[in-house]
Amino acid sequence: MDLVDVFPENPFHPTVKYIAINQTPFSVPWGKNTVRLGKGFNSRQGEQDEFFMKSSAFKDVDNTPLQYRKCQITAIRDESGSSIAYASENASFAISGSVGKGFLSASVKGSLEKSAHNNRNASNISVRADHICGQIEMLRVPQLDTDAVRLLNTSSDPIIEFQKIYGDFYVAGYRVGAVNETMISGKLANKTFFDAKRAVAEGKVAWAKVHKSINELSASASNEGLIRVDAFDSLMDFHSTFLVQTDDDIVRMGDVAAKNKQRAMTIAARATETLWKDFSLGYEDTVYQDVVDHLCVRGLVTELLLAPFATLREYQYLLARRRINMR
C-alpha cells in the first residue's frame, strides 16, 4: 500500500490511512471519556473494532510529567445558508470521520459535525464557538515497554507486529478548552429563509428574527420537512436535541438558541475561570495523568493529539540497529 492507493477522492478530506502513510500527527474531537497518555491507536482498524489498543507500548506512563501551556485562541463562527461550510470542508472532521463511528460519537462536537456533514445539502443556521485555553504535552517521552522493545528486536516483521499489538499512533497530548454550538437545520421549500435570517446580531435580537420567520413559514416547514435543533455547551454539560413540530417547540427553539448563543459569547472567560478555579492552571504548569483524567470528566479536553510511533527516537534506533546487525 502506498500514497496512490489511499489518496483521498477529495484532497481536502484526508483519511486516517492517508495520514498514516505520511506519518503525520493529527487531532480528533473528544468528549468526557478518559483516555491515558501514550494509549495506542491503530489506523488500519475497521469501524466495528476498538480504535484504542489494550496494550500500552510505554512504561511508567502515569508518572510521566506533563506540561500545560497557555494558548488562548477563540473562534466564533456564525453561518447560514444551503450548507455549513466548516463541516463539509473541515479536514479535522474528515480525518476523524474516516476513523469510524467511535471518535465521532465520543464527543458531542464530533456527532454534531457528523450530522452537519451528512445533511450538508439542507438549510442550516449555525452559531459555534471554540475556545482553546492551552495544550498538554509530555515533558519527556517515556521509554518503550520491555515487551515492545523485545518485539522490535526479535519479530520477523517488527513494524506490522508492533502495529497489531500497540497501534501505529499514540496519544501524545490534549487540547484543553471548551466548545459551544447551536445548529438549526431543515429541508425547507423556501431555501432563502435561512439565508435571509442569518443570526448576526446580538443574542435575543438575532434569534427573535429567526423566531418570527419560522412562525411565518411554519406551514411550509411542516409540509416539506421538520426543523431540527441541536445545541450543546461542553462547560455546562448541556446538550439539547429536538424536532420542531408544534408551536411550543417553536417557542422552545427560540429560548434554547438565545440562551446558548449567550453562553457562546462568554466561552473564553468561562473556560479560563474554570481552569483556574478548579485546577489552578494558569500560564504554564506541570501536571500528571490524574489531572488530565479530571479535565476529561469536566469536559475540558476537546481534542486528542495523536502522533506516530515511527517518529520516536527509540523506535527508530531499535529498527536501525536491527538492520545494521542483519547485514
C-alpha cell at 174: 490534549
DSSP H helices in the chain: 3-6, 16-22, 85-89, 91-99, 101-105, 108-118, 146-154, 158-166, 192-196, 203-216, 218-224, 247-265, 267-279, 289-297, 313-325
Q: What is the pLDDT of residue 230?
A: 85
Bigger pLDDT: 108 vs 308:
308
pLDDT digits (tens, 9 = 90+) for 38-49: 999 887 765 555
pLDDT digits (tens, 9 = 90+) for 167-224: 988 999 999 999 888 888 775 423 344 333 333 323 333 334 444 444 443 334 444 4
Other Cβ atoms within 10 Å of 160 Cβ, number: 11
C-alpha cell at 46: 475497521
Task: Give the model's confidence band at 34: pLDDT under 50 very low, under 70 low, under 90 confident, else very high.
Answer: confident
pLDDT digits (tens, 9 = 90+) for 233-277: 988 888 888 888 777 777 788 888 889 989 999 999 999 999 999
pLDDT digits (tens, 9 = 90+) for 100-115: 444 444 455 555 555 5
The helix (H) or strand (E) run that includes residue 186 is: strand 169-186
pLDDT digits (tens, 9 = 90+) for 13-33: 445 555 555 556 667 777 778
CB 142 within 8 A of CB 64: yes
Residue 293 has pLDDT above 60, yes or no: yes
Tell me how far CA of residue 22 lies from CA of 18, 41, 92, 307, in angstroms. 6, 16, 16, 11
Task: Give the model's confidence band at 297: pLDDT under 50 very low, under 70 low, under 90 confident, else very high.
Answer: confident
Residue 45 C-alpha from the chain's centroid: 19
> Average pLDDT of the chain?
72
Pick from 114, 69, 111: which is nearest to 87 by CA? 114
CB 144 within 8 A of CB 32: no
Look at the pTM and tell me if it is higher than 0.85. no
Tell me which amino acid residue 212 is: K
Other Cβ atoms within 10 Å of 163 Cβ, number: 21
Q: Is 148 exposed, middle or buried (0-12, 13-18, 19+ CB in 10 A)?
A: buried
Owner of C-alpha cell 501524545? 172
What residue spans define the domains of the chain? 3-322
